Amino acid sequence: MKRKISIGIGLLCLVLLVVAGVFLGKKIQDKNATVSGDVAAPGQKEEMQQLFPYEVAEGVYVMSAESYSGAFVEDGSDREVENIWQIKIENTTGRDIQFLRVRANLGGEEAVFDVSTLIAGSSAMVLETNALAWKSGVEQMSFTAENLAYFQYERTIFPEVFSLSVTDQTLRLENISENDVSGDVYVYYKNMEEDVFIGGITYRVKFSGGIRAGEALAEQASHYQSDKSKILFITYGQ
């Protein structure tokens, strides 16, 4: 194969492109994650509802802003946090977003929300990158889009080249083609629940040094969950 794709996406929200949602008024992120039901002072809930959807770029919307407690997924640590800002971002553009940063002013406090691999028609619940503490009674919010980048190539798992399976967080990749793949291979995935992506982060698994024709290799996918994870694409160098 002379098809060659190289991409600097990593663990943490691909500004990253290091990879390194899911809540909307109810628990969605994991069994220990919660969303505050009282996210605004009396009389302000209606004002917040009127603010959303908030268009930050053509066809890209912030759908909600609320408090979250649970695992902090955005840096891959899954450390526990309490009452931090989260927003729901929706992509209605018809194009896959590779990376987007939403910068927010939340009652005078600056906040940043990074999301990667927000595919067309999808939504993600994204935590503030620095785990900024939620503040109730916020009267004014504004959101702007930065670094919006769309995929410049087709997302694919190259089914004519690779066979892919996952068992107990072990990802097995086999080169089913007749040609060696000499460059590193990356498999990218996100977690989701109820059709909403969990966090802005995109995880990746690296197979160093390529895969010979007919060869199968295995690597750990430490954040993969069989009932929540979705493999989104593969990149490799030839």
In 3D space, the residue among 167, 203, 188, 194 whose CA is nearest the CA of residue 12 turns out to be: 203
Higher pLDDT, 56 or 38: 56
C-alpha to C-alpha distance for 193 and 185, rounded to whole angstroms: 27
Segment 95-109, tens digit of pLDDT: 999 999 999 999 899
Mean pLDDT, rounded, of the chain: 85
Residue spans of the domains in the chain: they are 34-150, 162-198+205-236
- pLDDT given for residue 31 in this prediction: 36
- pLDDT given for residue 30 in this prediction: 41
In 3D space, the residue among 176, 164, 104, 175 whose CA is nearest the CA of residue 138 turns out to be: 104
CA dihedral of residues 172, 237, 98, 30 (deg, nearest 10): 20
Task: Give the list of residues 6+ apart from residue 77 with CB closer than 8 angstroms, or none.
Answer: none
